[in-house]
C-alpha cells in the first residue's frame, strides 16, 4: 500500500512545473493535486486543497517562495488546520539560504538542478519524518553561521500564552533531550508529549520544531 501523498507544486516557471509534475505523477504513491505560479493565487488556493507536501520555488510571479511559506503557515495556523510539509527549491544552495528556508517554515531545501530522485526522496522523507531536529547538529550549524541571538518580542509574548504543562515540555525541549526522554520524565506516552509540543509550537506561530528550536536559540533559552 503506497503513501498516496498529495503534492502541491508552486513555481513561476511553467516548464519546470510541467517537468516536475510528470516526474511526481509517474510515481505510484504520489499525485500532484495543485499547481500554481502566482504568489497571491497560491496563497488563496493552497489552503483550500488537501495537500501533504508543498514544493515551492523561491521565484514566483508576484513574490518569493519564503515569503509565501511564512504567509501560508500563518493562514493554516489561523484556520487551525494541518500544515503541510514544505520543501523550498532555488537556483542554488547556500548555508544562508538554508537557514532562511528553515526560519520560513520549510523542512528542506533543494536546488532547481537537483536530480529527479533527489526531489522524490525529499518529498517522501519530508512527509513521513517525525520532525525532531538533530539538536546538536542544528546548534552547531547556527553557531557556525554566527546567527544572531536576538530574542523576538513577539515570540517572548507568545510564550506567556502557553499552559504550565506546555512550558514544562518546552523547557525540556530546550534542554535538547529526545521526545522519548521527555515522555519518561513526564511518565506519559510519547504521542502525548508530541501533542503538547505541537500545541506549544503552533501557539508560538511555527510550522516546524526546527523553527521553534531556532527561536529558542535566538532567545538564549537553549541548553543543548
Question: Please, what are the domains in the chain?
Answer: 5-128 (3.40.50.2300), 135-218 (1.10.10.10)
Per-residue pLDDT of the chain (224 residues; tens, 9 = 90+): 455 899 999 999 999 999 999 999 999 999 999 999 999 999 999 999 999 999 999 999 999 999 999 999 999 999 999 999 999 999 999 999 999 999 999 999 999 888 999 999 999 988 776 667 788 889 999 999 988 888 899 999 999 999 999 999 999 888 878 888 888 888 889 889 889 999 999 999 999 999 999 999 999 998 86
pLDDT score at 3: 56
pLDDT score at 1: 43
40-71 in b/e form (b: 16+ CB < 10 A) is: eebbebbbeeebbbbbbbbbbeebbbbebbbb
In this prediction the pTM is 0.90
35 CA to centre of own chain: 20
Q: Which helix (H) or strand (E) segment is 14 a member of?
A: helix 14-25
Are 78 and 56 in contact by the 8 Å Cβ rule? The answer is no
Nearest to 12 by CA among 32, 38, 34, 43: 38
pLDDT score at 179: 82
Residue 135 CB: number of other CB atoms within 10 A?
19
Amino acid at each position: 500500500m503506497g503513501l498516496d501523498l498529495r503534492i502541491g507544486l508552486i513555481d513561476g516557471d511553467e516548464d519546470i512545473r510541467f517537468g516536475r509534475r510528470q516526474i511526481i505523477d509517474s510515481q505510484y504513491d504520489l499525485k500532484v493535486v495543485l499547481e500554481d505560479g502566482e504568489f497571491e493565487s497560491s496563497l488563496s488556493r493552497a489552503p483550500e486543497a488537501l495537500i501533504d507536501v508543498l514544493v515551492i520555488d523561491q521565484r514566483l510571479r508576484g513574490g518569493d517562495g519564503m515569503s509565501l511559506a511564512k504567509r501560508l503557515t500563518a493562514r493554516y495556523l489561523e484556520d487551525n488546520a494541518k500544515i503541510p510539509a514544505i520543501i523550498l527549491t532555488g537556483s542554488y544552495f547556500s548555508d544562508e539560504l538554508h537557514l532562511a528556508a528553515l526560519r520560513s517554515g520549510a523542512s528542506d531545501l533543494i536546488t532547481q538542478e537537483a536530480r529527479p530522485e533527489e526531489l522524490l526522496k525529499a518529498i517522501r522523507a519530508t512527509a513521513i519524518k517525525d520532525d525532531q531536529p538533530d539538536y546538536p547538529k542544528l546548534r552547531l550549524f547556527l553557531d557556525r553561521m554566527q546567527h544572531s541571538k536576538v530574542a523576538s518580542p513577539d515570540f517572548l509574548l507568545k510564550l506567556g500564552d502557553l499552559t504550565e504543562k506546555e512550558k514544562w515540555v518546552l523547557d525540556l525541549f530546550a534542554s535538547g533531550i529526545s521526545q522519548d526522554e521527555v515522555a519518561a520524565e513526564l511518565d506519559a506516552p510519547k504521542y502525548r508529549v508530541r501533542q503538547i509540543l505541537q500545541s506549544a509550537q503552533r501557539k508560538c506561530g511555527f510550522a516546524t520544531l526546527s523553527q521553534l528550536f531556532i527561536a529558542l536559540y535566538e532567545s538564549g533559552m537553549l541548553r543543548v
